Amino acid sequence: MISQYTCYSSSMLQERIERFLQRKEFINHEGETRITSLKKTHETLQRQLDERSTECAVLEGKIFGLRSQVLLSKSVKSSRDEARGQSGDLVCVAAAKMKKVVSKRHMIDTARAQAEEIDYLRQELDKMRQKTFPSFVK
């Protein structure tokens, strides 16, 4: 078997080997440079990821606290509404208000009618007293 390099002189082979070695060193150096830059980028991104993870944990804690405050406020509001006789439904609230107005108006009308009846009965009582007990005063 004949080598393909047999037609080259030893100086040419030496130059070619040196070029391959230079190329190999360049490729190794370039690869190491890229690996170093990628490691720096990876470290930077890892730091950012850690910072954002801690920030996320802090924000989740705040969200949990705010949700508990909202639930507490809702329970306080609902208990106040129940104490007032109101419920959360607007239709029910409006109906309850209307019912209160109607019942108040009914009570006022009843009180007025009773006051008129009392006045009438007092007048009748005075008439009956005048019939049975004569009055000399004019």
The answer to whether 106 and 100 are in contact (CB under 8 A) is no
Residue 81 has pLDDT above 80, yes or no: no
Residue 88 has pLDDT above 60, yes or no: no
Q: Which residues contact 88 (CB under 8 A, 6 or more apart)?
A: 78, 81
The pLDDT mean for the chain works out to: 88
The answer to whether 78 and 88 are in contact (CB under 8 A) is yes
Q: Which two tokens stand for residue 74?
A: 């809702």
Segment 2-7 shows an average pLDDT of 56
**Predicted local confidence at residue 1, as pLDDT:** 46
Note the pLDDT tens digit of each residue in 22-70: 999 999 999 999 999 999 999 999 999 999 999 999 999 999 999 999 9
Residue 85 backbone zone (phi > 0: left; psi -120 to 50: alpha; other: beta): left
